[in-house]
Every structure is written in C-alpha cells, then in structure tokens.
Amino acid sequence: GPKCCQPTRNSPNSLDHSFWHWWFLILNCLWSYIFSQMNVRDAQGQTALHIACERGEVGCVRELLEECQARTDITDKNGDTPMHCAAKQDSVLCSQMCAGINEVNVTGETPLHIACRMGKVETAKALMGGGACCDIIGASGYPIHAAMKYSERGCAEAILAAHPAQLQAQDPVYGGTPLHWAKTAEMSRLLLDRGCNVNYLSNTGESPLHILTKRGRFEAAMMLLTHGADPNIKGEDGNTALHLAMKLDHMDLIKALIVFGADVEIHNDLGETPGLIAARTSKGERERDGRGKEGEIERERKDGGGIKGLVLIQMLIALEKAADRPIRELFDWVAGTSTGGILALAIVHGKSMEYLRCLYFRMKEQVFKGSRPYESAPLEDFLKKEFGENTKMTDVKHPRVMVTSVLADRHPGELHIFRNYDPPALSRDPPYASSATFKPLTIPQEQVVWRAARSSGAAPTYFRPMGRFLDGGLLANNPTLDAMTEIHQYNKALKTRGQGDGVCKLGVVVSLGTGKPPQVEVNSVDVFRPSNPLELAKSFIGVKELGKMLVDCCTDSDGCAVDRARAWCEMADISYHRLSPQLSTEVMLDEVSDAVLVDMLWETQMYLYENREIIQTLAQQLLQP
C-alpha cells in the first residue's frame, strides 16, 4: 500500500494532471448546467435571450445564439418571443435571429408590428429581410396599418417598397385600407402618390374622407380633396362628410367641403340635410349654401395672379355647371395672362376644371418652396408634365388661344402674344424705331406650349425670366382689350385677304378676375431728401409705399382696365360681363396655406351664389346659337 502510493504523492506531473482533470469535470458540469438552463423561463416566462434582447446587449445575444444555440421561438407570459424584444431595440439584434419572427403575442402584434409602431425603420427592414411577413393580421390590422396609425413614414415606405400590394390591405375590424388609418397630410400623400384608392369604402361604408372629417383633421382632409376625394359619398347612416363636419361645427372643414363641391341639400338616412344639422349645432351665423352657377362666352379673358388662379378655376367650374358643357366647348377665343395664361392653355388642351383645382393645390408646395425668387425647375417640370415636352401651340387649334408675355430684351419692353394660329398679317409700322437687331420670334407652329406658359408666368422677383420673356402681367394683367384688339386685327386681316366669310363678329365677352383685395389707407408716398433721423424714417416708409403703389398700378386688373373694356364693348354693341369676387384680405400670389386658400375660395363661392341669377342669365345667353 504505502509503496504504491508513494510515486503519486511525490510526482508533480501527476498532481497537475489530477487538478486539471477535476477542473475539467467541474467546468463540464457547469457548462452542462448552463446549457440546461439556457431556455428555462423565469417568473415572467422570459429566457436569458429575452432579457439580453430587451437590454439591447448585442454581444451577449450573439454568444447566446452562436455558442449556446438559444431558442428564439420561446414565448413569455405576454406571448413575446425574443424577436419581439429585439424589435424594440436594434436592427442588429433582429438580423441575428429568424425563428419566432412571425409569432403573434397576446396584444396581437408580431415583431414587425412592434417595429412599425415604434418607428424602427432599420429594424423593420431587417425583419422583412429575415422573413417577416407583412400579411399577418394583428389586433389592429397588418403592420402597414400600425405604421399609419402611429404616423411612422419610414416604416410605411419600407413595407410598400417591399410589398406594394399592402397599399390596399384591409384591416380585420373595419375593412379599412391604410388610407383610412392615415392621420396626417404627409402620410396621406405617401399613399396617394402611390395610387391608393382615395374613395375606397370600408365595411362600414365610410371613405377615408369620412374618417378624417370625424376626427376634425383639416390638413389631411384637404390632401384627400385635392387628390379627387368625392365629398358626396354617403357613409354610415347615409351621412356625407359635410353632414359630419356640420355636426362638429368645424368651419374650416365645412368651407373646404363646400368649395370642393359638397351638396348642401343631400339627405342622410334620417332625412337630414347638412343645412338642417347646421341649424341645430351651429354656434353662429353661417352661409349654408355655397353653390354657384355660371354660363358660357364667346370670348373669355383671365387675369394673372399666381395661386389665385384657383379663383378663376372656381368660377370656371360654376360656368361649366350652369351651361352643362365643358369649358373648351363654350369659347371661340380664350386669352390669359400669367396664371390665367396657364389656365387658358389647360382649357384648350382639354384639362378638366376639377382636375386643375386639385393640381393647383398639390403643386403649390413644390413650386413655392424656399424663398423668393423661387427655383424655376419645379414650375417647368410641372408644365412639361401637364402639356408635354414637345407639344406645339398649333397642335390644338380650337378654341383659339392667346397668352400674353413681355419681351424684355429691349427697352421699352413690348407685349408679345403666344398663339395657336398665325398672327394677323397686317402691314403696320413698328411701335418704336429700333437701334438694334433682335432675334426673330418663334412661329406658332414651332412654339412649345410649356415654354409659352412659363414665359407668361415669369413674375419678376418670384421667378427668373424665361429667356427674354417676362410675366405678361407687366403690360397686360387684364388682357381684355389686348385680346379684343387681336380679334379685331385678325378679322381685318381676313377681310384684307378676301376671306370676309370667315369673319365672326364678337358677341359676348366674359372677363374673369382673381379677386379684388380690400382698399386700405396709405400713410405716405412722399419721397424726399431727409435732414434728420425722423425724416429718414418717413422717407423710407414713403419709398416702400410708393414702390408698392407703382406695382399695383402697373398690374391693376379691376379698376380702369375694367371700365375701359366695358366702355369699348358697349360702344361696339358687345355684351360684356366681369366676374371678380371681393376678398376680405389680400392673398399673395405665392400663398401656400390651405386655410387661407380655402377662405379665398369660400368667398368666391359666396360671390357666385349671390350672383347666381346673373350667372344663370349669362349661361342662357351663351348657350344660344
């Protein structure tokens, strides 16, 4: 016995071997225990991987997955897998796991639902890259509905980029599309720009416009209206959006809906009209009928005014309704300046007035972006898209169109008219003796439409000149007399060529204005050499007011210009009609506020209603052969 044990006790190598042997056994037992506890759940039902994911411990998660093969499909008491916890933290965690990626927890959410709710864009992308499904219904719908509910634009874009069909995904409760769930104008635009059906009805028969009106969301509702939402669709209990707005007594929404054609006499299932509801709920006086009607003309003329072209459009819509004919079929000649010129070309090319109204609202944010002078590219892109890059003026010959501009490559400047017909060939002396040779003008057959529109709308200080052309409003902001002169010269040229049978006497002239601002008091227009600081301030005010007055006088379209045109027509026995609403406040031509523009159109609609009999008479007159 003692002799056998002696070598072991006395050998260092044997002692080391024994130590490491036992240490290995201990570690092995420890690792076995750790592995046995790897997927054990605590009192909350969470595993070690749940906790690591919840705390965002990327290194620990990687070790648990790669070295310990921790399971990713175990759920805690809330039904959350580690993927649900990872979705709340970092996309790196989600890229490490796959199993359990489409599990629905007790609150009805998959990891992708959670990422969309919390706005974790990269996490959402990682989940979809790892196999997360977008068509798993949770408690409130698909992940796209969660993104819309919480206004998480990035997540919504990621889902739609990967799965475009989600654009029309219906939630399980109401059958609403993502547009029904949108709360803001930005989120609504995201869907509408991708072709979402703006008038889709949910299981309750409600359109997205009904939902936004119920919630009093004016900006988002305007986004729908400017993308073609029908304000007269009946929803739950037969209510239109106007019924709902009247119940809320929401004046901005009421005005917007009526301006965009809401019927104030339509009945719901209880036999109530919006007007009746207004009488019950209104806190004050309200004009309840905003509808107006107008008729036809043989020669139409439109003033300039930037975004205030919406006033022209609103009156043209009324003209169409009164005559029950498209605008382009009502006129033989159409003339316009600046925004009126753009509309004149749009009419000739068959654009509907409702479409143009929506278009103006949609494009204002893009065109009037930043500070003056605005970039020309957005306006030019808009014109190219609407008229085509290569469309020529003479591609559409009826009705004849005149668009004014100013040749600014010479002094004094000269009025130029873009036409879709050959100009009158009359031998006339030039207005000024020229001391220079100017580049010849482009003939109508070669003149590109979008360039003509851009040249007429090159308002100084707002946009850069279009080559040698400036805004026609500098010389013809009210182009009535210029257009009538052109027609007279055209007829005279026909007679000179022996084509008197082609002469058509001008019978009716309708002049449309973009609204009259209120007249306000001017304190001083005195400009002088100051001798002290007080006089310097007075002189500065005088310069400012005088400059504004000079601009107003140059571009006046409602004062003397109207009187002269009316007198000219009366002398020639021509019926003359001027339509231009009185506005309560001055609206700038680069105004972008929906609320301000809706108020402007509301006042226009009231003006049309107040003059409905005159307009109806005009319509009948113009429909006569």
From 202, 207, 338, 511, active-site residue: 338
Q: Which amino acid is at 187?
A: M
Task: Tell me how far apart the alpha carbons of residues 184 and 156 are, in angstroms, rounded to a whole number.
Answer: 13
Task: Tell me how far apart the alpha carbons of residues 496 and 89 are, in angstroms, rounded to a whole number.
Answer: 84
What single-letter DSSP state applies at residue 289?
A: -
Residue appearing with tokens 């990269």: 122
Bridge-based pairing state of the strands 299-302 and 333-337: parallel
Q: How many alpha carbons fall within 13 Å on the CB side of residue 233? A: 21
From 471, 558, 590, 594, active-site residue: 471
Q: Quick check: is 471 catalytic? A: yes
CB 272 within 8 A of CB 552: no
Q: What is the dihedral of CA 522, 525, 529, 530, to 10 degrees?
A: 0
Chain center to CA of 181: 19
Q: Which of 391, 389, 315 is nearest to 357 (CA)?
A: 315
Task: Tell me how far apart the alpha carbons of residues 241 and 253 are, in angstroms, rounded to a whole number.
Answer: 9
Q: What is the dihedral of CA 590, 592, 598, 602, to 10 degrees?
A: -10
Q: Quick check: is 188 catalytic? A: no
Task: Tell me how far apart the alpha carbons of residues 425 and 205 are, in angstroms, rounded to a whole number.
Answer: 62
Task: Tell me how far apart the alpha carbons of residues 600 and 587 are, in angstroms, rounded to a whole number.
Answer: 8
Chain center to CA of 508: 36
Q: At 512, which helix (H) or strand (E)?
A: strand 508-512
CB 367 within 8 A of CB 374: yes
Q: Which residues carry out catalysis? A: 338, 471
